[in-house]
A and B are shown apart, each in its own frame.
Chain A
Amino acid sequence: MILDVVGAVLLGLGLLLATVGLYGLLRIPDIFQQLHPAGLITGPAVIVVLLASVATGSGKIISSAVLVLLFVLITSPLSTHAIAQAARRRPRRDRDAAGRSR
């Protein structure tokens, strides 16, 4: 019973975080500022949804979810950093074209 409530709350929190991040992504035009809500979706939202696996009570599901969680913890900052670095290093004309097309 308590596990059911915890799982439902964690699922709702994760999906709420993803919704807030998606709204931010749709509102913000600049790529550097877009990386902030993008990190909210690829990091905490996915992690909280994976943490809701404790409510299933199945060992297989929980161990697989923990593996994905560790992987996401490592790779989410990596991909965000790669996109930021590419945005900073790309040629000047691409950056200007992206800046004007709001």
Chain B
Amino acid sequence: MPAIVLDIAAGWATLLLFGGGLLLLRAPDTLHRVLALDILVAIVIMLLTILSYLRGVSYYIDAALALALLALTSTLVAARYVTRGGPF
């Protein structure tokens, strides 16, 4: 892919990150915050993928895989925490 397309895509994804931060700041309670952090992680996964295309190396996508695993675990535990007052 031409580098200009990837540059524009990286800039766009960074702007989306600001939108996710605004969502996190406007969250009224805990579940909204959990949802906003989930969205932020999804945007960071997209950003890491675009960075991997830009540099032409594959290990940024592996970092994205680890981040997705962490996001799943933290979302499940935080949702359970809201329901029962503890992670277990």
Which A residues are closer than 8 A to B by beta carbons? 3-4, 7-8, 11-12, 14-15, 18-19, 21-22, 25-26, 31, 34-35, 38, 41-42, 45-46, 49-50, 52-53, 55-56, 58, 60-61, 63-65, 67-68, 71-72, 75, 78-79, 82-83, 85-87, 89-90, 94, 97-98, 101-102
| Minimum Cβ distance to chain A for residue B15 (Å) | 9
The distance in angstroms between the C-alpha atoms of A75 and B76, with both chains bound, is 10
Would A19 and B79 be within 8 Å (CB), given that A31-B31, A87-B31, A98-B32 are in contact? no
Which B residues are closer than 8 A to A by beta carbons? 1-2, 5-6, 9, 12-13, 16, 19-20, 22-23, 26, 28-32, 34-36, 38-39, 42-43, 45-46, 49-50, 52-53, 56-59, 61-62, 64-65, 68-69, 71-72, 75-76, 79-80, 82-83
Would A15 and B39 be within 8 Å (CB), given that A52-B53, A101-B28 are in contact? no
The distance in angstroms between the C-alpha atoms of A52 and B36, with both chains bound, is 25
A-B contact count (CB 8 A): 157
Would A49 and B61 be within 8 Å (CB), given that A15-B9, A26-B22, A56-B53 are in contact? no
B1 adjacent to A50 (CB under 8 Å): no
B79 adjacent to A83 (CB under 8 Å): yes
The distance in angstroms between the C-alpha atoms of A8 and B1, with both chains bound, is 7
